[in-house]
Structure 1
């Protein structure tokens, strides 16, 4: 973001939008974009994912809005961070499904009434209302049920089952072969790519760049031709990776799918390797999914034992506590520990 006299320029946001669309931000292009944005709303999706890399983005949005009061700006953020409150925008929070809404959604999504009834009964008998609280998770559950796959009771396991479904785990029962590569190799490539993208704070990447990252990282233990084959099959027939912009750009689709793969990698990572990641808002969701099915105590033990706690870890650690499969008293104890660390930070 460019600054004028110490303040972010009102045109900085417009220039960033033009850069994102691969348009050179000349004075003419900036003026044309500004005029167009008086007629159509500007939608900025995923503010929580970019703010770490562009700290001035909030000031850029506010500066643009002050200079262009007739323009409508819509910003989405997955979490109600403090910076959202500071923007001065009207905030709308999407609530989870009610029971009635969830059952209606399942009935509409499932292709048959029998499968819908099966999913509804499963939700009731296993108390899955909180797990299937949004359209993404409910859709995955319906897809699993329609393929005869048992619907798990944890969000992280839902994503793992989805991956297995898309990579042919359940096809062999029907003597169907959709891909040449083993599901373990496909998963290894997908996890490594998701991790690389997360390290760089990206939700999408060019195909050639993704392939270059994978080929340079020998930890996956595959020959180059096998890596390229897996990457291609993750696109088709598996549909794990989605091609956009005429096929040049790859994305995992919903960001939660990328986070779920990163969480799988976190489960194989030592707690002492988490330090530089815990403070990054971009990683909060992945750590939440990690806590969904992993023991979080080693992380707290590490942060306490070696005096490594940082106040910037607080939001992510609270997310992990809320998602951990532990009792209420134990959760309260960990929250008390965070409060103690916050009062006497060990930096």
Structure 2
């Protein structure tokens, strides 16, 4: 935090001391005597600038940006307009002069900087939830496509009918619509982040492979262990595909343990509701039009066991390949 003012050095020193900004003010006359190429180094450790004119404010911000800093500037007067333009983010208040408000990128309706912090937290939470969608949806799609392709080669019938695939995609996408309400762990919003395609690709391959292994395990048990009918096979795979994707979304939304990172009520509620609806469909009047059949109790129990195995496998894989590797490793105590 730096104080830049056109007031005299004594007033600047007094105000700076009241907010714990130490150091002797650097005045405008010294800035004027400093060449542009030497200015970034000259002001590196200066926290208080006094007796500066509007163009010198602009020079200060330009020099700070040349050092690689990301600069935000808060001002409300006519003299602040050049600096508001020069900053990465110019901030003003609703009671400022029109010139300052027009030059600013953000205009605060209340004289309270907490709204800036709230906006940053909300933006980082939105970014985090967007990454959750991309990672989980990509890995689920990869797993489903590979599993369906392998099953089509091994089975004398289509593993799922087109209408079943469409319904599966529709149902599994409903929890994603509530993902924007989900919470973000403290370490996920501690630092600004960008999209890393390599980590998304690694996530897709690792967790998609777990999904494929679970799908093929169920396929083998249904086809060569229980020798179920075609409609029962499709019903079991339909339930398993949907439940696996929803469970993956709830488990892989965080680097933390599934039990230590609480999802939002909307996300958890829609996820559990959709799993319930999916399990109930083969027993409903819609089963015949959809080409499904009621599942025997032993198959239902096996699917429940496989779901628990899937949760355990994903939780174990987190220790090797974190779902969100760009999140902060540790959050400092406030």
Question: What's the TM-score once normalised by structure 2's chain length?
Answer: 0.22
Question: What's the TM-score once normalised by structure 1's chain length?
Answer: 0.21
Report which structure shows greater RCO (CA 8 Å, sep ≥6).
2
